[in-house]
Amino acid sequence: MTDKAAEIAQMLAPTVASLGVELLGIEYLPSPGGAVVRLYIDVPASELTATGDDGLPPAVSIEDCEAVSREVSAQLDVEDPISGNYTLEVSSPGLDRPLFTQAHFSRFLGETAKVTLRLPQDGRRRLTGVIAQVADDGITFLVDDVQFMVALDNIDKARLVPDWAALGLAPAKPGAKPGPRKNPTNKPTNKPAAAKPTSAE
């Protein structure tokens, strides 16, 4: 996250938690026509091991997103951390979920992620690789069978790359053995479930 996004996330996290969901992180996207403040929320980690009557883990609902949007919009109007116009969006993480913290990377060890760097490293600004190791000094990715370590504060954006074939949502690659169907941890939606334009005075 950018410094501004981290500042807003720290301010809003208690409000989001009070509504029974967890704030994963924030994307703050400034532009001349007005910024976009995009919140990603999820079921608290302590509840992810539970399953419902359908055998699937709990997931964020549209009602959760709408409730968070209402409360956060009111808080932003009062605390006024953003100058100018902005649009507030609240979304579940989806299958290609964003990764913001060291804990997020640790949770998905062995999964593939697509990463954009703040500053170029070894001639790269982008990489796609398997999350191989997580340590205090950075995240190590396996990129084309070569280890590539990146400091966490040099990661601008990171998202999981879903295995669509294993999820049963795409044809398997030629010659690949069919794998077990996985249960996604969230409904596959990256479309903002609630968007509320607002402006700070």
Give residue-wise pLDDT tens across range 2-42: 788 999 999 999 999 999 999 999 999 998 888 999 999 99
* Long-range Cβ contact pairs of 125-129 (< 8 A, separation 24 or more): 128/161
Q: Are 192 and 91 in contact (CB under 8 A)?
A: yes
pLDDT above 70: percentage of residues in the chain: 78
Q: Is the pLDDT of residue 201 over 60?
A: no
β-strands 155-160, 112-121 pairing: antiparallel
pLDDT digits (tens, 9 = 90+) for 103-123: 999 999 999 999 999 999 999
Confidence of residue 187 (pLDDT cuts 50, 70, 90): very low
C-beta of residue 160 within 8 angstroms of C-beta of residue 108:
yes
State phi, psi for 194 to the nearest 5 degrees. Answer: -150, 130
Task: Indicate the residue type of 201.
Answer: E
Q: 């084309």: which residue's tokens?
A: 144
pTM for this one?
0.76
CB atoms within 10 A of CB 114: 15
**Partners of 26 in the β-ladder:** 39
Domains annotated for the chain, with CATH where assigned, are 3-95+186-199 (3.30.300.70), 102-160 (2.30.30.100)
Residue 165 pLDDT level (bands cut at 50, 70, 90): confident
The total of other beta-carbon atoms located within 10 Å of residue 164's CB is: 14
pLDDT in tens, 49-104: 655 555 566 788 999 999 999 999 999 999 989 888 999 999 999 889 999 999 99
